[in-house]
Amino acid sequence: MPTPLLMDHDGAIDDLLSQLLVLTMPDVELIGVTVTPADCFIEPALESAYKLLQLMGKESVPLGRGDYYGINAFPSEWRARPEIINALPMLINLPQSPDPYRYLSAPDLIIDRLKAADSPVSILMTGPCSNLVLALEKAPELKAKIGSIVWMAGAFRTTGNVQTFQHDGSAEWNVFWDPISSQKLVSYELPLTLIPLDVTNHVPVTKQFLSRLATQIDHPLSNLTGQLWALTLDTIPSYHYTYFMWDILATSYLAIPECFTTEHVKANVSTRPPNAGQTYLDDNGYALTIATDVKTAIFYEYILSQFKR
Ligand code: AGV
Ligand code: CA
């Protein structure tokens, strides 16, 4: 029996790549996708999410619309990038997607799907965690329906990737967007595994990887994902950032957990300047698991083989 999975993502290119990757996994049954308006604008991101479901023959998977906006907005230049995706040749002529304002709100879809589940649900988050926290505040009894949570978030023994005013650079963006919800989620002590920058720093999007992917171009998924990844190479501002396989690595954890080194820690989240959104180890904090290392060669091979289907 495949594990039921709820995915919440925030519409950036690697989030959409992650949604595709989930749809290639035989042991996972996607029971809902919710989108957070963080690293995206919500309407084009929901359209992309729907198109990718269509492409994989899974348009029956329900989508939920994130209506809650976090505390610290992502730069608009990043949020606008995914618009290009809907115009790619493999996606532009798919049947029109539904009006995004007809979808359930994201927390309501999460509640609905958890309620309906008759076995423990896995949750994958590749953006901020606000939708899940809103759902669990509204229906706390549904925590019992959650089997595990995997979240691309945080930075523990490495620097963060937020560079902005009133900030010391220690936070990772998915946590920084809504530090209050992040702190709440950690405080619930659910079976939570974070895939932080400590481990995603090991997996940049490399030309070598893209070149190998391009040799499989006869497979439509390799063709499309190769184009999506190519769009990430001019990430803004390029002198600061490399595009990493942040969300893709977190998603892979569902399928190849044995390739990761993990550690059980106690940790907490700061909600105030100068380090709002910093995730830090703290003996008086909350129990959670963090990934600290990954067998990178096996990981890249796994991605190449999934997109060869
Ligand atoms: O902090 C990593 C998270 C991941 O979920 N996102 C991108 C991934 O989807 C935010 C982010 C950090 N640096 C970025 C980001 C960049 N240069 N461009 C777009 N998003
Ligand atoms: Ca993301």
DSSP code per residue over 133-144: HHHHHH-GGGGG
User: How many degrees, rounded to 5, is the angle at CA 68 between CA 150 and CA 113?
Assistant: 50
Spans in the chain with pLDDT lower than 70:
236-241
Q: What is the pLDDT of residue 83?
A: 83
Ligand 1: list residues with CB < 6 Å: 12, 14-15, 39, 78, 126-127, 152, 161, 172-174, 235, 241, 246-247
User: How many degrees, rounded to 5, is the angle at CA 104 between CA 36 and CA 143?
Assistant: 70
Q: Are strands 286-294 and 260-269 parallel, antiparallel or unpaired?
A: antiparallel
The half-sphere exposure of 2 on its side-chain side, counting CA atoms within 13 A, is 15
Give 128 Cα–ligand 2 centroid separation in angstroms: 8
For residue 291, what is the enclosing H or E element?
strand 286-294
Residue type for 69, please? Y
Q: What is the pLDDT of residue 241?
A: 66
Q: What is the pLDDT of residue 236?
A: 63
Q: What is the pLDDT of residue 239?
A: 60
The CATH number fitting domain 3-306, selected from 3.50.50.60, 1.25.40.10, 3.90.245.10, 3.30.70.1560: 3.90.245.10
Residue among 9, 10, 39, 198 whose CB has most ligand 1 atoms within 8 A, to mutate: 39
Residue among 241, 246, 251, 279 whose CB has most ligand 1 atoms within 8 A, to mutate: 246
SS3 of the chain: helix, strand, coil, percent, to 5: 40, 20, 40
Q: What is the pLDDT of residue 60?
A: 97
- Which pair of tokens denotes residue 65? 């619309």
Give 117 Cα–ligand 2 centroid separation in angstroms: 26
- Residue-wise pLDDT tens digits, 60-87: 999 999 999 999 999 998 998 878 899 9
Separation of alpha carbons 49 and 9, rounded Å: 9
pTM above 0.85, yes or no: yes
